[in-house]
Amino acid sequence: MSRKTEQTVIIGGGVIGAMCAWYLQQAGQQVTILDRDRLGAACSHGNCGYVSPSHVLPLTQPGMVRKALRSMLSSNSPFYVKPRLSLDLWSWLFKFARRCNERDMLEAADSIHRLLQSARQLYIDLIESQKLDCEWQPIGLLFVFHDAHEFHEYEPTNRMLEKKYGVSARPIDGGELTKFEPALIPGLGGAWYYDCDSHLRPDKLMSELRRILLRDGVKIVENCEVTGFREVAGKAVAVETKTQGEIPADRFVVACGALTPFLNQHLGCRIPIQPGKGYSLTMPRPASCPTYPLIFEQHRVAITPMNSGYRIGSTMEFAGYDSSINQSRLQLLMDSAKLYLREPLGEPVQETWYGWRPMTWDSKPYLDRAPKFENVWVAAGHNMLGLSMATVTGKLIAELLTGQQPHLDLRPLRIGR
């Protein structure tokens, strides 16, 4: 008698959920993705598309509390916390503040580094094996500084990253910078070039993932909001949805990003994620378009030159689940770009976008079984590195659900840590 194929339901159709589906399907599972909107419509759509092994350090760095407190006084700060009465927010901020020291920063960095290193190679393997047309460009990333003092101040950080993690950048001083990247204006302080990084177009990646998932038999159910689980003897036997009734399965993966806390009561635990709103503007490539993706460190703005377009993005706004677009945040992106680029904007603006990043107080994701159930796993809380970590998250979830030994140590990513 042939063995019954295991049925797995993934709740959440962002890049994390899609990658979980891919690796589980490759491991022999029958997979269904449920999404409250459309596959790839939320934070996986309009981000800056970086796959960045260079992004080792968490937000919880020494001095970050002081910066955060200053930011609360200015709505024009790249990092903005909207003052409001929210027990969850203030508990999160308190735990975040306690982590802003060198010891805890390095503890988080150890886990982030391992995830990013594995993810990059998995991206290369997936894109090459499946011939994904997602504008993948493994050409590196420039951290650009507006003034020379800040450029030189980064040098100890670069030395530490090289010594501890083997991640190093090449310094390019202000005099050389416009030769290396002619789209930048003269007179900037300098930049650090990380040749280990890559970038792609996120919406094209999601379209390609949809293509290969459907090709290989994964079922995608859109406009299907999950409201809870039906439980029998400590196991979830079905998810309850608003539009499709009950959907049964053998195993379940919660990959809802910033929306994961809405299922906390049903999971039997608290996943302490806060939505950190980021913005982007997408437009045609300007005539003087950068070759390299750029991060303007002092202004926390990112530039992504794509084959088919051009994107300005970033900022971090803790304003709860606010679905409005704050025009002043978009203006901040454009104004900051003008400080660095000869031709900062393309015309016309094709899309203004926001997305809720799933921010955790220690900058590490959650990758663990839900305490209430034997057969429900959580894969969420990837902060600003969801795209960068998507492949490794998918592979690790597949290893967990199929009884394999995970190829990375998951103890630092457990629920309740």
Torsion on CA atoms 346, 351, 352, 353, rounded to nearest 10: -130
- Outline where 166-245 has alpha helix (H): 174-180, 202-215
Distance between CA 17 and CA 41 in Å, rounded? 12
Other beta carbons less than 10 A from residue 370's beta carbon: 24
Q: How confident is the model at residue 3 (pLDDT cuts 50, 70, 90)?
A: low
> In sequence order, what are the residues at sequence separation of 6 or more whose Cβ sits closer than 8 angstroms to the Cβ of residue 48?
199, 280, 293, 302, 303, 304, 311, 313, 314
- Outline where 216-304 has alpha helix (H): 264-267
> In sequence order, what are the residues at sequence separation of 6 or more whose Cβ sits closer than 8 angstroms to the Cβ of residue 104?
60, 98, 362
Tens of pLDDT along 41-100?
A: 999 999 999 999 999 999 999 988 777 666 656 656 777 788 788 899 999 999 999 999
Number of domains into which the chain is organized: 1
Reference 329, options 146, 78, 43, 81; nearest CA is 78
pLDDT confidence of residue 330:
94
By residue range, what is the domain housing residue 287?
7-140+196-413
Reference 204, options 266, 136, 258, 253; nearest CA is 136
Reference 61, options 294, 362, 382; nearest CA is 362
Tens of pLDDT along 216-249?
A: 999 999 999 999 999 999 999 999 999 999 999 9
Cα end-to-end span (Å), the chain:
43
Give the residue carrying structure tokens 């503890």.
Answer: 107
**351 belongs to a structural domain:** yes
Q: Is the pLDDT of residue 344 over 90?
A: yes
**160 belongs to a structural domain:** no
Tens of pLDDT along 135-189?
A: 999 999 999 999 999 999 999 999 999 999 999 999 999 999 999 999 999 999 9
Give the residue carrying structure tokens 């910033």.
Answer: 258
Q: Is the pLDDT of residue 1 over 70?
A: no
Q: How confident is the model at residue 250 (pLDDT cuts 50, 70, 90)?
A: very high
Name which of 82-96, 148-162, 329-343, 369-383 the model is least confident about. Answer: 82-96
pLDDT confidence of residue 65:
79
Reference 221, options 56, 9, 416, 1; nearest CA is 9
Taking the CA atoms of 118, 119, 121 and 126 in sequence, report the sign of the dihedral they define: positive
The CATH number that applies at residue 366 is: 3.50.50.60
Tens of pLDDT along 263-310?
A: 999 999 999 999 999 999 999 999 999 999 999 988 999 999 999 999
> In sequence order, what are the residues at sequence separation of 6 or more whose Cβ sits closer than 8 angstroms to the Cβ of residue 4?
none
**What residue ranges in 52-114 does DSSP mark as E strands?**
79-81
> In sequence order, what are the residues at sequence separation of 6 or more whose Cβ sits closer than 8 angstroms to the Cβ of residue 83?
72
**238 belongs to a structural domain:** yes
**150 belongs to a structural domain:** no
> In sequence order, what are the residues at sequence separation of 6 or more whose Cβ sits closer than 8 angstroms to the Cβ of residue 164?
106, 109
pLDDT confidence of residue 78:
72
Percent of the chain with pLDDT over 70: 97
Reference 302, options 206, 202, 381; nearest CA is 202
For the chain, how many residues are written?
417
Q: Is the pLDDT of residue 6 over 90?
A: no
Q: Could you tell me if 119 and 388 are in contact, meaning their C-beta atoms sit under 8 angstroms apart? A: yes
**1 belongs to a structural domain:** no
**191 belongs to a structural domain:** no
pLDDT confidence of residue 2:
46
Give the residue carrying structure tokens 């709103």.
Answer: 277
Question: What is the arithmetic mean of pLDDT over 106-112?
Answer: 98
Distance between CA 23 and CA 221 in Å, rounded? 18
**79 belongs to a structural domain:** yes
Q: Could you tell me if 53 and 167 are in contact, meaning their C-beta atoms sit under 8 angstroms apart? A: yes
The pLDDT mean for the chain works out to: 95
